Amino acid sequence: MCDAAVKRDTGMATTDLLQHSDVILRPDPSRTVVRPFDLGYPGRFADAGPSRTQVIVDRITSLDEARLDAELRGVTRSLDERHRDVDATLRRRFEAIAGRITTPRDVSDRQQRLIGAYFSEEYSFEAAALFNPSAVPHPDQSGLPDGAIRFVLSLRGIGEGHVSSVAFRTGVWMPGGAVTVDPPSPSAVPPEVGIEDGEGRVRLDCGASRSICETVIFPVLPRQRQGIEDVRLVRFTDDDGTSVYHGTYTAFSGADAKPELLSSGDFTSMEMRPLTGDAAGAKGMALFPRRVDGRFLMLGRQDSESIWLHRSDELYRWNGGARLVRPRYPWEFVQMGNCGSPLEVDEGWLVFTHGVGTVRNYCMGACLLDKADPSKLLARTPAPILEPSPGERDGYVPNVVYGCGAMLSGRDVLIPYGVADNFTSFATTTVDGLLGAME
């Protein structure tokens, strides 16, 4: 566990309830993905005349062989330093814009790759921040010491233009002991994006990633233009025993923020789909890990200040709901919300919460819901269990600690959390300790 100096760098608990790890995940601007660089379409210089795309392509195809080879070698060498399959990436990008040019069949392979490079960009998806994590057990638990758990961590990365993307990391937790996080791959790989269907559903093929931590999901649709924010992962087990990973997140268009659901069996392919219904208009929704009385349950914040409970017969449609936990203590007077999906323990549903108080301080607490009837609030922490520390409250957004999903093993709890909307750290505790802090 960390000493006092490291605690001052992470945000710290108000009591000895939490034990802080010395692991800190900071944003790394050298990690980039190659994404489309789109100049607009049709994007004409005047009412009559070629599109801007065509003008640029004409300039490229006018290069002589020596200059073409020199330009192509230079860009390939640069991209090869931190990306795989560069030639294939550039060819795919050419294919994506080929419909905008007049004679695509007359373009040689070398010209295609260079054109693809001009319509691509390297994007540093975590240049500014890497925070708001959630943790779930990894689909592969082989080859571990007795008692250890391998986990998958989703993270919110922020890059140029304050655009939020989803990144992943993996690690191992020894309950009651250490947390280790695997070094990130030097390669970051965006998934292949399928066609959006009539329900807004999009398939993501992550087969080019050699590990989960290589996959990066950045906005691919207009409704996500400004970001995919704060994934709350949960391993959901249905009544027939089958399990799937779901992650609620906020799709932000720049004007509207709407909840959506990310789903996957093993993180090699995923599906994104918007939630519908009159309750699907608020941020921060979190799915329960199983049905209760045959129905799906979700936490939300539909009045912008309280935690709500919703029930539905359909995973993607949410209507109605009722207030469940209201602001009561000074550290949550401004608003409350969940910090991830509920954890099922013997005593009920353990829910981590956040509260906003003076000077827009974000602190974390916890509450307990009845297992058979989660609309019943049994207990809650009167004081924060985690709050910004005097030694580390400055960052992208100061005075904030915030999480999107803890993980349970027996009576031990792993709590990954973001600090100052900038970096990520970890704490551990026990169910008994948390219940003992409630009233």
Angle separating helix axes 65-80 and 86-97, nearest 10 degrees? 120
Beta-bridge mates of residue 353 = 338, 365
The predicted pLDDT at position 151 comes to 98
Say if residue 2's pLDDT is above 60.
no
> Pick the residue with more confidence: 371 or 393?
371
Query: In the structure, what pLDDT confidence band is assigned to residue 395 with cuts at 50, 70 and 90?
Result: low
The predicted pLDDT at position 243 comes to 97
State phi, psi for 268 to the nearest 5 degrees: -85, -25
Q: Are 150 and 143 in contact (CB under 8 A)?
A: no
Sign, Cα dihedral of 130, 135, 141, 143: positive
Q: What is the DSSP letter of 346?
A: T
Please write the tens of the pLDDT for every residue from 306-330: 999 999 999 999 999 999 999 999 9
Separation between Cα atoms, residue 86 and residue 76, nearest integer Å: 7
Span 185-203, average pLDDT: 91
Query: In the structure, what pLDDT confidence band is assigned to residue 396 with cuts at 50, 70 and 90?
Result: low
Say if residue 44's pLDDT is above 60.
no
Query: In the structure, what pLDDT confidence band is assigned to residue 39 with cuts at 50, 70 and 90?
Result: confident
Span 62-82, average pLDDT: 96
Separation between Cα atoms, residue 243 and residue 414, nearest integer Å: 21
- Bond prior to 42 in cis (omega within 30° of 0): yes
Please write the tens of the pLDDT for every residue from 48-59: 457 889 999 999
Contacts of 409 (CB under 8 A, 6+ apart): 149, 173, 175
Query: In the structure, what pLDDT confidence band is assigned to residue 38 with cuts at 50, 70 and 90?
Result: confident
Amino acid at position 117, single letter:
A
The predicted pLDDT at position 56 comes to 95
Q: Are 165 and 227 in contact (CB under 8 A)?
A: yes
DSSP for 59-80 reads: HHHTS-HHHHHHHHHHHHHHHH
Please write the tens of the pLDDT for every residue from 143-163: 999 999 999 999 999 999 999
Say if residue 45's pLDDT is above 90.
no
Separation between Cα atoms, residue 141 and residue 83, nearest integer Å: 28
Separation between Cα atoms, residue 270 and residue 395, nearest integer Å: 32
The predicted pLDDT at position 14 comes to 45
Please write the tens of the pLDDT for every residue from 199-254: 899 999 999 999 999 999 999 899 999 999 999 999 999 999 999 999 999 999 99
Span 184-189, average pLDDT: 91
Separation between Cα atoms, residue 311 and residue 332, nearest integer Å: 25
Say if residue 278's pLDDT is above 70.
yes
The predicted pLDDT at position 186 comes to 87
pTM of the model: 0.91
Instruction: Provide the percentage of residues in the chain whose pLDDT is more than 90.
Output: 86
Please write the tens of the pLDDT for every residue from 82-121: 999 999 999 999 999 999 999 888 999 999 999 999 999 9
Separation between Cα atoms, residue 26 and residue 423, nearest integer Å: 5
Q: What is the DSSP letter of 266?
A: S
Query: In the structure, what pLDDT confidence band is assigned to residue 376 with cuts at 50, 70 and 90?
Result: very high
The predicted pLDDT at position 12 comes to 41
**Average pLDDT, whole number, for the chain?**
92
The predicted pLDDT at position 391 comes to 61
Amino acid at position 100, single letter:
R
Sign, Cα dihedral of 82, 85, 87, 90: negative
The structure tokens listed for 72 are: 């192509």
The predicted pLDDT at position 198 comes to 87
**Bridge-based pairing state of the strands 19-25 and 423-430:** antiparallel
Q: Are 173 and 409 in contact (CB under 8 A)?
A: yes
